[in-house]
Amino acid sequence: MNKIMIILQFLNDNTGVITLVVGFLAIYLYLKQKADAKRDIAKLILQEIRYAEQQIRNSGRGSRGYSLSSRLLPTNSWDDNIHLFITDMKETEIDMISEFYSQAAYIDYLIEERSKQKLNQKFSLRPIAIGQPATTTPAEDIPQQQPTPQQIAQIIQEPNFNEQITMNLLTDFSSKIEFLYNTPAAEKMRQLSERKWYQLF
C-alpha cells in the first residue's frame, strides 16, 4: 500500500515530465508508423518494377507477344504514394519511375485491347448450326451465310487493320521502355525498403 502511495505521489509531483515523455513517445510511434509504411511501399514498388520488367523480357520486348490474361502492373503502388518519396529522391529519379509506370500502364491497355479484339474475332467466327430448330422470333430467324474455310483462314492469319496497329504499338512501346531495376533510381528505392526499424528519417 505504501509503495502505491509513493508511486502516486511521484506521478503527481512530476506531471510535467510525464506529459513530456508521453508526448515524445506518441511522436516516436507516429514517425515509426510512417517510416514502416514507406518501407513497405518501397518494397511493393520494387516488386512491381521487377515483375513488369520480367513480363516484358518474357515477351521478347513484345516480339513474341504477351499473354492476354496477364498484366505488367496487376497493382500500382507508385501513383498513389509518389508523395512519400519526394524528399528522398531526385526529380530525375522520380521522373524515371513515373515514366516507367506510365509506359507499363499503356502497354497493359494495349494488351487489354488485343484481348478484346481476339475475343470479338472468336465470336464473329462462331459457326451457326445448320438445320437447328428456330428458337428466335420470325424477324430474327433469317438464314445467315456461313463463312467459307478460306475466309476463316484468312481472318485468322491476317489480322485486321486495328489489330495490326495494336500489335505494332505493343512491340514499339515494349522495345522503347527503359528498365529500372538496376538503375540508381531503383537502388535508392531499395535503400528505403531496407531501412532498419530505428531509422525514422
Residue 189 · residue 45 · CB < 8 Å: yes
Report the candidate in 63, 22, 55, 16 with the shortest Cα–Cα distance to residue 170.
63
0.75 cut: is pTM over it?
no
Q: In this predicted model, what pLDDT tens digit does every residue of 30-63 receive, in sequence order?
A: 777 888 889 999 999 999 999 999 999 999 998 8
Residue 104 · residue 73 · CB < 8 Å: yes
Q: How is residue 195 written as a grid cell?
A: 531501412
What is the pLDDT, as a whole number, of residue 23?
80
Maximal C-alpha separation, the chain: 101
**Could you tell me which residues come within 8 angstroms of residue 118 by beta carbon, excluding any fewer than 6 positions away?**
68
Q: In this predicted model, what pLDDT tens digit does every residue of 14-27 receive, in sequence order?
A: 777 777 777 878 88
What is the pLDDT, as a whole number, of residue 124?
59
- How far apart are alpha carbons 94 and 187 in whole angstroms? 12
- How far apart are alpha carbons 114 and 58 in whole angstroms? 17
Residue 144 · residue 99 · CB < 8 Å: no
Kindly give the parts of the chain with pLDDT less than 70: 1, 8, 11, 122-161, 197-201
End-to-end CA distance of the chain: 45
Where in the chain are the domains? 35-126+146-193
Q: What percent of the chain has pLDDT over 90?
A: 46
- How far apart are alpha carbons 26 and 194 in whole angstroms? 24
